[in-house]
Amino acid sequence: MALTGVLRPGHAQLRVLDLEEGVRHYRDVLGLVETGRDASGRVYFKAWDERDHNSLILRQADQAGVDFVGFKVANKATLDQLEADLKAYGLSTERIPAGDLMETGERVRFKIPTGHLIELYAEKKMVGNGLPSVNPAPWGKDSEVGIAPLRFDHCLLYGPNVNQTLDLFTKVLGFTLTEYVTLPDGETKGALWLTCGIKAHDIAFVEHPEPGKLHHLSFLLESWEKVLRAGDIMSMNKVPIDIGPTRHGVTRGTTIYAWDPSGNRFETFCGGTQPYPDWDPIHWTWEGLGEGGGLDYPQRKLHETFLTVVT
């Protein structure tokens, strides 16, 4: 399919309680590449196979969590049109000047019904992945550092009003609903998986009474074997694991969930469905999420921490 409009997840700014401890975790254990530090003290990273300058930004704060999530759009005209569409929908937007984030162009920021800040941008400096553009090798020196994910893949956010958020993402931003979970009443959607391409998901939401909460940021690996290797590296570095290694029923992805030193959950993820926009979304019942293996297919159970621990 032709990629137009919103292209993909671009970046997330994460709050950590100890900046250098966070840097060591995301650089040395997860294996992201540090690409810069700015005057305000923020530290920038990219996964080794990403071309853009940054996809994860860390800043020190008194409370863990996520400040905002950004999506890259096709071009400046698309950015302008989407801002107009957001305003017509009834949302207020804020223009953030180029350079506020390192090597990143102007951004359009808005608050969604779950209480999260989402932003769109069209320009970010491309620094490449360390391989030549002609006859490249399949991997380079940075792909062997730590867990070494290929890219920042998606995020799961917790907050209220997920059905209003579904309306916004599908009607204004052009996302497709790929899978959803209904609450025990059998009708109300309580969890959503949305894509702007043909991935299993680029962003997901779960109904939660507190606004603006982070469940996890997810980083893509290329095989189940690499997920198992990630588990070894986490154990070697005494990283506390929440769930896994296992497979989801929802999305079919293989996964490990773990916590960074500040208590932010992160995921190492592989696989997943590749739904086209004309496919009907998959419906999971509340019972199916647990006993049906939607969350953890091998064990067919819900994990209390997965449902309750957010930052």
Clarify whether 25 is annotated catalytic.
no
Annotated active-site residue 154? The verdict is yes
Query: Which pairs with CB-CB distance under 8 Å and at least 24 residues apart come from 93-101?
Result: 98/123, 101/11, 101/38, 101/44, 101/54, 101/57
Measured distance between the N- and C-terminal CA atoms of the chain, rounded to whole angstroms: 36
Provide the token pair at 87: 């305003």
Catalytic residue check, 201: yes
Catalytic residue (one of 53, 116, 208, 248):
248
Catalytic residue list contains 89: no
Q: Sheet harboring 117-121: ordered strands across?
A: 33-37, 43-46, 56-60, 6-16, 65-73, 117-121, 107-111, 94-96
Q: Count of CB atoms within 10 A of residue 31's CB?
A: 21
Choosing from 11, 25, 201, 208, the catalytic residue is 201
- CA distances, 140 to each of 30, 44, 145, 307 (Å): 16, 20, 10, 38
**HSE (side-chain half, CA atoms, 13 Å) at 298:** 8
For this structure, is 257 an active site residue? yes
Q: Which of 267, 291, 297, 303 is catalytic?
A: 267
Q: Which two tokens stand for residue 23?
A: 């840097």
- Point out the catalytic residue in the list 154, 179, 207, 208: 154
- Kindly report the backbone phi and psi dihedral angles of residue 68, in degrees, each rounded to the nearest multiple of 5, phi listed first: -165, 160
* Residue 215 is among the residues annotated as catalytic for this protein: no
Residues taking part in catalysis: 154, 201, 216, 248, 257, 267
